[in-house]
Amino acid sequence: MSGFNLLHLITNAKPVTLKPCGLPSGTCRTKKTWPKSFSQEELKKRLSPIQFHVTQEKGTESAFRGEYTEYKEDGIYTCVVCGSPLFKSETKFDSGSGWPSFYDLVKEESVTVTDDFAYGMHRVETSCSQCGSHLGHLFDDGPRPTGKRYCINSASLGFQHGHSLLIQTGGLGPGRNVTNRTENSWRI
Ligand SMILES: [Zn+2]
């Protein structure tokens, strides 16, 4: 990957004001209404520094450094803070961006999206709908069938091997082929 690297800008991201995103009801929440909450003190003890920075301070891990960027095991990716299931391994694809990328969610309501206007650009931030932890961003340049690209920090994720009973599989089946993307224009 070459060219301009946004990471150096985003690593020191400060919290931005969240606002309703205007998407269908149930997908947007304000920061104060998460069903699960954890004290910052507890999270500082439980999480690694990068996990805390990404999830609680809207940080971004370095590209290609994350634990799950090249991870290919079968299972469920969960929120590292509250354990909620977020993504299935079947929907993970190699975006070449340097961050784990998924084209669909376990459940539509598992992730909350909000507008992010930091750094003079409009992006769509993704957060865990249960605890509000920052996950990454959502772009509309993903592969079929959804056309979405959830660009997620490994530091926001946990992993459960196998297909957990937490998940009601529906919709997308396993084993779909996804075209790899090699452009260097990825952003997170
Ligand atoms: Zn969570």
107-129: buried (b, 16+ CB within 10 Å) or exposed (e) per residue? eeebbbbbbbebeeeebbbbbbb
Query: CB neighbours (10 Å) of residue 130?
Result: 21
Q: Is 151 tagged catalytic?
A: yes
Instruction: Please state whether the predicted TM-score (pTM) of the whole model is above 0.85.
Output: no
Residues paired with residue 21 on neighbouring β-strands, in sequence order: none
Q: How far is the CA of 1 from the centre of ligand 1 (A)?
A: 30
Are the beta carbons of 86 and 68 closer than 8 angstroms? no
Specify the DSSP class assigned to residue 98.
S
Q: How far is the CA of 182 from the centre of ligand 1 (A)?
A: 30
Q: How far is the CA of 173 from the centre of ligand 1 (A)?
A: 25
CATH domain 7-11+38-161 topology? 2.170.150
Predicted confidence (pLDDT) per residue in 20-46, tens digit: 444 444 444 445 679 999 999 999 999
pLDDT at 3 over 90: no
Q: How far is the CA of 56 from the centre of ligand 1 (A)?
A: 11
pLDDT at 166 over 60: no
Kindly state the percentage of the chain with pLDDT values over 70. Answer: 69
- Using CA atoms, how far apart are residues 5 and 25, in angstroms rounded to an integer? 34
List 79, 82, 131, 151, catalytic entry: 151
Mean pLDDT of 92-102: 97
Q: How far is the CA of 186 from the centre of ligand 1 (A)?
A: 25
The pLDDT, as a whole number, for residue 21 is 44
Which tokens in the block code for residue 49? 């520094």
Q: Where are the domains of the chain?
A: 7-11+38-161
Summary mean pLDDT of the chain: 81
Are the beta carbons of 28 and 18 closer than 8 angstroms? no
Q: What angle do CA 33, 147, 12 make, to 5 degrees?
A: 50
Predicted confidence (pLDDT) per residue in 114-163, tens digit: 999 988 999 999 999 999 999 999 999 999 999 999 999 999 999 999 86
Are the beta carbons of 29 and 125 closer than 8 angstroms? no
